[in-house]
Amino acid sequence: MTDRVKRLREISTTAVPSISMERAKYFTEAYKMWEGSVSVPEMRALALRHFMENRSLYIERGELIVGEKGDKPQAAPTFPELCCHTVEDLQIMNDREIIFFRNTEEQREWHAKEIIPYWENRSIRHRILSVMTDEWRDAYAAGIFTEFMEQRGPGHTVCSDKIYNKGFADYKKDIADAIAALDYQHDPEAYRRREQLSAMSIACDAIITLGHRYEALARELAEAETDESWKSDLLTIADNCAVVPEHAPQTFHQALQMYWFVHLCVTSELNPWDAYSPGRLDQHVYPFYRRDVERGALDDDHALELLECLWVKFNNQPAPPKVGVTLKESGTYTDFANINTGGITPDGEDGVNPVSYLILDCMDEMKLLQPSSNVQISRKTPNKFLMRACEIASKGWGQPAFYNTEAIISELMAAGKTLADARKGGTSGCVETGAFGNEAYILTGYFNIPKILELTLYNGYDHYTGKTIGLQLGNPEDFDSYEKLYDAFCRQMEHFIDIKLTGSAVIERIYADYMPVPFLSIITNDCIATGKDYNAGGARYNTSYLQGVGIGTITDSLSSIKRHVYDDHDFTLRELVDAMETNFENAPDMFHTIRSSTPFYGNDDDYADDIMKDVFNFYQKTVTGRPNVRGGQYRVNMLPTTCHVYFGEVMLASPNGRLAAKPVSEGISPDKGADTHGPTAVIRSCAKMDHLRTGGTLLNQKFTPAVLAGKDGLSNLAALIRSYFAMDGHHIQFNVIDRQTLLDAQAHPDEYRDLIVRVAGYSDHFRNLSRALQDEIIERTEQNFG
Amino acid sequence: MKTAAETTNVFNIQRFSVHDGDGIRTTVFFSGCPLSCAWCHNPEGAASSPSLLYSAEKCVGCGRCAAACPNGAISFYDGRAVEDFAACTACGKCVPVCHADARAIAGKPMTVDEIVKICVADRMFYEQSGGGVTLSGGEVMAQSLDFLLPLLQELKREDIDVNIDTSGYAPYEKIAAVLPYTDAFLYDIKSVDSEKHMKLTGVDNSLILSNLRTLSDDGARIIIRVPVIEPVANCTDDDMDALAQVLDGVCFERLHLLPYHNTGIYKRKSLGWLSSQSFTTPSQEKLEALRSKLLSHGIRDVRIGG
């Protein structure tokens, strides 16, 4: 890593997250100036342009890619038109111990005076919460589901190669052509299209203005600069900004700067979930790399340094400050910008190129949480690339995660995409599948599957809110067979899915009508051609996802009931339900029976895994294919972010012995401590789910560093990945355990039943080792890390 | 109903076993061993019948085990259960009632089909990693051929790579019988010094060493595994010189030096065995030095660890 990058990385990782009020100021000014006199899309575009014309600029000494979302690194803008924070919200953001955003008394006073009076009753959040039905509110309060768009915009949007082939001046011309081609006589929507297209044109001006302002600033700084080297860099920055974003990039450096300007505009226009992602960056910028290298203008060291400067930019932008349930479902600074490296080309050939390896080097050297750097592994991916990715993953900080190219393509084609569009696709956010550049695939919320069973067992009554909120389908005594109980569970699930999707239909309409995103629409196919907004169905494909959470917990809970209540008659359903209410405190024998002799998911045991399949299939079929407002369909994926913690908080103890308020299982991983037969058994269980009918699943695996040590360790890791992917697994990531976790495992062995450690010449479950040997391994691991 | 002839006792089947041969493997640990190595790290596999493992340090003194025991083998002292291993028949009644997970039975009867079913489950992982199944123990070669041959034939019918991890202490006819179904032998040499071998393992090593030569002559793929146990076995340059001399003329693929580890101590205690000699794990430097010594004798591939 060069000294330049070291310094920029240091700034990025030590800057204190703060709130920037600038965006709120200029957007509010713009609304006051223009609202009512122009159409809604034009209003949005004018606000973006006004912001870009007036916002402060920031060039850090030494950086080679310029532009920040806020006024400095780690400064997060606010979006009052979506979510108008109260003064108390700001105070909480300032004071909370984790995921804080510092803001000053002066900022809070200004916000109270200028922002709150204008936005508090006009924000989208206010609008949404005031039109939701009572049953939606009850379910939301009970933690049956979350609502993604209640304080952030529709997102999970990924860049295609569009921005590298054309500049925004070219797009302005395309837009003008589209306006000229409108047929007002035969198309009743023509005028609405015109408003939308006109807004896109204004949004082009917004980004072009930003580029030229940076050009001017860089020249101004260069003139006053005495350090020849930095002066020369500043002039390069100025020259780059003279080209991009107005025109198509000509060099590798300009291509990266182009992406970054686009990223800033997408994430300033609205605060879409998962920011914005470069997608297949290695393939997009490879032509520039090759041309620059061939003409002698670029070598690998410099290309790596430029990529690292871009990485710093991603890391400088914390996720927008969240409050309430939304903070709980995604309690992190990470904004999930996600880079897919590898995979295959649009022609179906191996997509790994020299830039792919540079991105791996960049990932390895930078070790930053953002951007989320992932690899797509296809059958055609060379082992050299997979092994290098495994080597980085074995260092234990969770990146890269591994995605299955063939599964992604099948998932996309199962959802109606063409082969050509599917090959250009990938995953973004956590694991969500999308047709990059062609699709608006919007996450609507997490769905708490285990809680549905809890409501069913208590005849619709929710202990968390103290209300009867579910269908009343019977008391425990009424369910005289497993099938009757399971049927009631399914009806209860369908009921709440109906409530959730009814709410989502209203929310999607609100966004379509009041929160268009003309800038994002420029770069998403086919919004210009159709004259429709990204949020209103303008994209080629329009998917809405509902994310199922807790498949491990629900499977184990049903397995426990089936085995102990109906098969073996160890206890009655009433006794179980009563014990759950007391957190099993009055039923230690029952608790022990459940924990020690229930077939749990994650052990390659069909007794449990068949139940997993039943629940997944029902959930998947109940959601998939329902229409959304944007002309597309609903689909499911299976991921939690941090929502499994929140969903656990709103629940009593569950029938699998999970105690009250403890997290439910995450992703499609087994519940903590449930899997005791090692990683191959986990993978086999997980692969029994039909991943290809989802839009993504998430599997975490834990290892200690020594299990993966050496070439043999990496080869085995690579083989695990290839095996899982051959079974159509969608995604896998690895936790390589550190000392702290081992200490925790020692204190809470039951929660780490699946933890495998390398002892000496063989591996064993950590829980099966004596205290002394555990101590020895903990010490040894520390040395390994030292 | 399983009859005794159709089953044998297995004390563990470890999936994702990555240190007993190439690639990702499933290792089947059979109960029963004719050797009694002083450092044995799998003492629960020594007996051919099931054994009770009891970890006193986990006991919470609730008394459920004593109530469940039909043999009166459990008493209490100082708030913890004390096991009378002589009276224990390893019936296992105390295991499910123990809330502290302090009790387990090592060894349960399994049929060929049951073992094969588990082994076949991970076929995909074997194929991707070049792995397979390793039969270990205990001592796999102490198993009856009436059980072993059908098991091996079934695994080969499934086209699974099979390794046999053995001390080599068995009549050669038995080894010859399994050879056609075995892709590699992981062949342990505890000590080449016959006196020392007798003292440390309870058996003479001449059969082991002659079997090794015959196996080599018969063209088997052999991987030698040598435990390094300080201060008693394979821990000096002289030991390495003697080892190299014995291996001269034996055709083997590679040699692994396996450093001593102390898990055995804990398990011995759980089995009610008296603690024996204490050993130490060799340092990395020591292992490297031993490795160099072997290399100097012309042994080309010497690895540290499994």
pLDDT in tens, A591-610: 999 999 999 999 999 999 99
Look at B258 and A761 and tell me if their CB atoms are within 8 Å.
yes
Number of Cβ atoms within 10 Å of the Cβ of A96: 12
At A302, is the secondary structure helix, strand, or coil?
helix
Model pLDDT, residue B72: 95
Look at A761 and B305 and tell me if their CB atoms are within 8 Å.
yes
**Could you tell me if B97 and B214 lie in one domain?**
no
Look at B18 and A681 and tell me if their CB atoms are within 8 Å.
no
Contacts of A588 in chain B (CB under 8 A): 99
Is residue A702 within 8 A of residue B4, CB to CB? The reply is no
Buried b (16+ CB within 10 A) or exposed e, A317-333: bbbbbbbebbbbbbbbb
Each residue of A137-189: pLDDT tens digit? Answer: 999 999 999 998 988 899 878 999 999 999 999 999 999 999 999 999 999 99
Contacts of B129 in chain A (CB under 8 A): 715-716, 719-720, 723
Each residue of B87-130: pLDDT tens digit? Answer: 999 999 999 999 998 999 999 999 999 999 999 999 999 999 99
Each residue of A107-143: pLDDT tens digit? Answer: 999 999 999 999 999 999 999 999 999 999 999 999 9
Quote the mean pLDDT of chain A: 93
pLDDT over 60 at A760, yes or no: no
Question: Shortest Cα distance from A709 to chain B (angstroms)?
Answer: 11
Model pLDDT, residue A155: 82
Could you tell me which residue, B101 or A571, shows the higher pLDDT?
Answer: A571
| Catalytic (active site) residue A432 | yes
The pTM score is 0.93
Cα separation, A356 vs A337, whole angstroms: 17
Q: Which of B28, B54, B124, B287 to mutate to test the interface with A (most CBs of A within 10 A)?
A: B124
A679 touches chain B (CB under 8 A): yes
Is residue A294 within 8 A of residue A252, CB to CB? The reply is no
What is the residue range of B135's domain?
Answer: 4-48+110-304
**Could you tell me if B97 and B195 lie in one domain?**
no
Q: Give the distance from CA A44 to its chain's centroid.
A: 25
**Could you tell me if B139 and B218 lie in one domain?**
yes
**Could you tell me if B63 and B201 lie in one domain?**
no
A765 touches chain B (CB under 8 A): no
**Could you tell me if B85 and B213 lie in one domain?**
no
Model pLDDT, residue A782: 46
Of A714, A394, A763, A717, give the one whose Cα is nearest residue B20: A763
Q: What is the band of A778 on the pLDDT scale with cuts at 50, 70, 90?
A: confident
Look at A762 and B261 and tell me if their CB atoms are within 8 Å.
yes
**Could you tell me if B293 and B201 lie in one domain?**
yes
Q: Considering Cα of A184, then A190, then A196, then A200, what sign does the dihedral take?
A: negative
Look at A760 and B259 and tell me if their CB atoms are within 8 Å.
yes
Question: Shortest Cα distance from A507 to chain B (angstroms)?
Answer: 45
pLDDT over 60 at A786, yes or no: no
**Could you tell me if B58 and B92 lie in one domain?**
yes
Question: Shortest Cα distance from A613 to chain B (angstroms)?
Answer: 18
- Catalytic residue from among A430, A527, A643, A686: A430
Lowest mean pLDDT among A542-551, A585-594, B126-135, B260-269: B260-269
- Catalytic residue from among A432, A454, A508, A666: A432
Which CATH number belongs to the domain containing residue B82 in this structure? 3.30.70.20
Q: Which of B15, B129, B261 sits opposite A761 (nearest CB)?
A: B261
A676 touches chain B (CB under 8 A): no
Of A79, A162, A93, A166, give the one whose Cα is nearest residue A122: A79
Cα separation, B56 vs A548, whole angstroms: 43
Look at A684 and B259 and tell me if their CB atoms are within 8 Å.
no
Minimum CA–CA partner of A766 in chain B: B263
Contacts of A5 (CB under 8 A, 6+ apart): A305, A308, A309, A312, A365, A366
Contacts of A217 (CB under 8 A, 6+ apart): A57, A59
Contacts of B100 in chain A (CB under 8 A): none
Q: Which of A609, A712, A748, A750 to mutate to test the interface with B (most CBs of B within 10 A)?
A: A712
ipTM: 0.93
Helix axes A252-269, A300-315, angle to 10 degrees: 10
Q: What is the band of A785 on the pLDDT scale with cuts at 50, 70, 90?
A: very low
Q: What is the band of A326 on the pLDDT scale with cuts at 50, 70, 90?
A: confident
Contacts of B10 (CB under 8 A, 6+ apart): B28, B29, B30, B31, B107, B108, B109, B110, B115
**Could you tell me if B90 and B127 lie in one domain?**
no
**Could you tell me if B91 and B204 lie in one domain?**
no
Place of tokens 């609903």: A634
A709 touches chain B (CB under 8 A): no
**Could you tell me if B124 and B139 lie in one domain?**
yes
Q: What is the band of A762 on the pLDDT scale with cuts at 50, 70, 90?
A: very low
Q: Which of A597, A720, A759 sits opposite B261 (nearest CB)?
A: A759
Cα separation, A35 vs A27, whole angstroms: 11
- A to B CB pairs, distance under 8 Å: 88
Query: SS3 letters for A203-214?
Result: HHHHHHHHHHHH
**Could you tell me if B183 and B82 lie in one domain?**
no
Look at A712 and B18 and tell me if their CB atoms are within 8 Å.
yes
Look at A716 and B129 and tell me if their CB atoms are within 8 Å.
yes
| Catalytic (active site) residue A329 | no
Q: How many domains does the structure of chain B reveal? A: 2
A726 touches chain B (CB under 8 A): yes
**Could you tell me if B127 and B200 lie in one domain?**
yes
Look at A719 and B305 and tell me if their CB atoms are within 8 Å.
no
Model pLDDT, residue A650: 97
Look at A723 and B121 and tell me if their CB atoms are within 8 Å.
no
Look at A760 and B122 and tell me if their CB atoms are within 8 Å.
no
Model pLDDT, residue A332: 76
Cα separation, A704 vs A688, whole angstroms: 26
Cα separation, A325 vs A647, whole angstroms: 10
Model pLDDT, residue A758: 53
Which CATH number belongs to the domain containing residue B280 in this structure? 3.20.20.70
Q: Which of A596, A763, A771 sits opposite B18 (nearest CB)?
A: A763
pLDDT over 90 at A672, yes or no: no
